[in-house]
């Protein structure tokens, strides 16, 4: 036991004197978690809480076009900056190119005419059986000019889809309004009362978002709940830089050779490294979770809510840490130089994170990747964490992720043993 204790003390001392390794293991993931959570949080707020600034060029002066302007403004999602109707499209493109605004909506000159024509056509079609309505000019629809959205190429697809959806909703609202007016007028031969029109048009069915969680919690997931577990795992696996290069250093400087001439089993050295670095991963998780709970609110970010089942969190964190240590051990044993260990370690962690769903959510990945991701330990780690942090699961709910993770961890141990044998170290 004294030999193991001395080896752990030695490994901790060596690790504490590797300043770059410490920065990579602790500072980098904290910075990443803060930056990514801040960026995602502001994106979330931009889409959900803030209004999107939009330039509006209305070339149509008739009532429906004015109504569309009001509908867009009332929609709550746009901050309309109306520009003169005499502005041409070239000038509008210029303003977008200079990033004066990232989006512009152009209502064509014939928009109102088209809305009224369509309303008349539909009314005539709908009531032809019960009225003497004859074929009117409305039946002959003119070519409909589109409402155009100009956007800067930096605007991401998700934003464009969101703007497009809101615009479609406003257009539908206006069109429905005029159809209702025409139908009412055709039946009653008088204009529809405003209150009735409001009642018909306005949607009375509210929408409520409910996060489906295992503990019936009603808390909506936020950027912190998503990012803290993900970047904690990234940090855990980034011990590969410190542990991998420490193993290579000991192989190259002859320390391992000397150890093999001493009357102690070499397995103690490997066990000690795993114990030391599993402890490091637990410390990383504790530090990053604490920052999420205590420091994030001070930075204007949502606070991290720990899962109700703290024992399950500890167990999952331990298995994830052990898996990360096993992975780093393999990289260190199979690398011949520190450059190899650092390069292969960093690149493989980023790749495993990418296919594991840390960088892009796994559910949006193509079907071919849905199978590949199952080979990434980070996928199972992340799923187990999300089970606890987002779904409110308990230890029993994590087994479907923990069992594959344990299998991968054992495989890493077997590879490490094989590598040590092949390199004549045990």
Partner 1 sequence: MTPAIQIENLSFTYKGNTQKTLDQIHLNVSEGERYGIFGPNGAGKTTLINIMTGLLSYTGGSVKIFGKEVTANRKSVKSLFGFVPQDFSFYNELTPVENMEFFGAWSGLDKKKIGQKINELLEMMHLQDVRNKPVGKFSGGMKRRVNLAIAVIHEPRLLFLDEPTVGVDVQSRHAIIEYLKKLNEKGTTLVYTSHQLNEAEDLCNKIALIDQSKIIGSGPLVELLKRHHKYKLEDLFLELTGRAYRDGGV
Q: Could you list the residues that contact partner 1 (CB under 8 A)?
A: 2-3, 5-7, 9-10, 13-14, 17-18, 250, 253-255, 257-264, 268, 424
CA distance 412 to 175: 63
Q: What are phi and psi of 225, to 5 degrees?
A: -60, -30
Burial string for 26-64 (b: 16+ CB within 10 Å, else e) reads bebbbebbbebbbebbeeeeeeeeeebebbbbbbbeeeb
Q: Which residue's CB is nearer to partner 1, number 177 or number 273? A: 273
Between 15 and 179, CB nearer to partner 1: 15
Min dist. Cβ of residue 418 to partner 1 (A): 17
Smallest separation, CB 267 to partner 1 (Å): 12
Q: Which two tokens stand for residue 6?
A: 């001395």
Q: Rounded to an integer, what distance in angstroms lies between the CA atom of residue 21 and that of residue 83?
A: 55
Cβ at position 287, least distance to partner 1 in Å: 23
Q: How far is the CB of 271 from partner 1 (least distance, A)?
A: 13
> How many Cβ atoms sit within 10 Å of the Cβ of residue 387?
25
Q: Cα torsion for 249, 255, 256, 257, to the nearest 10°?
A: 130
To the nearest whole angstrom, how small is the minimum distance from the Cβ of residue 98 to partner 1?
A: 55
Q: Looking at beta carbons only, is 18 or 100 nearer to partner 1?
A: 18
Core vs surface per residue 108-138: b (16+ CB within 10 A) or e: bebbbbbbbbbbbbbbbebeeeeeebeeeeb
Of 274 and 398, nearer to partner 1 (C-beta) is 274
Q: 41 vs 245, which CB is nearer to partner 1?
A: 245
Q: Of the two residues 82 and 258, which places its CB atom closer to partner 1 in the complex?
A: 258
């Amino acid at each position: 036991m004294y030999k193991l204790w001395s080896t752990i003390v030695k490994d901790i001392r060596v690790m504490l004197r590797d300043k770059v390794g410490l920065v990579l293991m602790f500072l980098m993931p904290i910075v990443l978690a803060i930056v990514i959570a801040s960026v995602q949080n502001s994106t979330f707020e931009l889409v959900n809480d803030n209004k999107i600034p939009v330039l509006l060029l209305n070339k149509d002066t008739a009532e429906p076009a004015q109504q569309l302007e009001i509908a867009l403004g009332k929609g709550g999602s746009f901050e309309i900056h109306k520009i003169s109707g005499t502005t041409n499209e070239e000038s509008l493109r210029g303003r977008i190119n200079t990033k004066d605004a990232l989006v512009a909506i152009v209502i064509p000159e014939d928009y109102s005419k088209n809305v009224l024509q369509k309303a008349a056509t539909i009314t005539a079609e709908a009531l032809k059986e019960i009225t003497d309505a004859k074929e009117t000019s409305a039946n002959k629809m003119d070519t409909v000019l589109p409402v155009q959205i100009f956007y800067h190429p930096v605007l991401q697809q998700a934003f464009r889809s969101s703007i497009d959806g809101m615009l479609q909703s406003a257009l539908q609202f206006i069109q429905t309004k005029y159809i209702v007016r025409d139908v009412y007028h055709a039946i009653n031969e008088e204009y529809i009362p405003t209150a009735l029109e409001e009642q018909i048009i306005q949607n009375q069915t509210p929408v409520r978002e409910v996060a489906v969680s295992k503990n019936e919690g009603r808390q909506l997931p936020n950027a912190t709940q998503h990012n803290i577990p993900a970047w904690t795992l990234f940090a855990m696996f980034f011990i590969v830089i410190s542990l991998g290069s420490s193993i290579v250093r000991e192989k190259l400087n002859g320390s391992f050779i000397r150890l093999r001439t001493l009357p102690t089993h070499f397995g103690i050295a490997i066990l000690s490294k795993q114990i030391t670095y599993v402890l490091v991963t637990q410390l990383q998780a504790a530090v990053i979770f604490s920052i999420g709970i205590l420091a994030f609110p001070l930075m204007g970010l949502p606070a991290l809510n720990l899962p109700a089942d703290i024992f399950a969190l500890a167990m999952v964190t331990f298995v994830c840490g052990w898996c990360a240590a096993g992975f780093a051990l393999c990289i260190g044993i199979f690398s011949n130089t520190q450059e190899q260990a650092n390069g292969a370690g960093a690149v493989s962690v980023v790749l495993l994170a990418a296919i594991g769903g840390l960088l892009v959510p796994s559910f949006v990945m193509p079907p071919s990747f849905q199978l590949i991701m199952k080979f990434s330990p980070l996928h199972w780690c992340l799923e187990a964490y999300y089970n606890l942090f987002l779904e409110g699961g308990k230890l029993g709910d994590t087994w479907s992720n923990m069992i594959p993770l344990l299998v991968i961890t054992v495989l890493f141990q077997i590879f490490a043993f094989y590598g040590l044998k092949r390199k004549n170290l045990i």
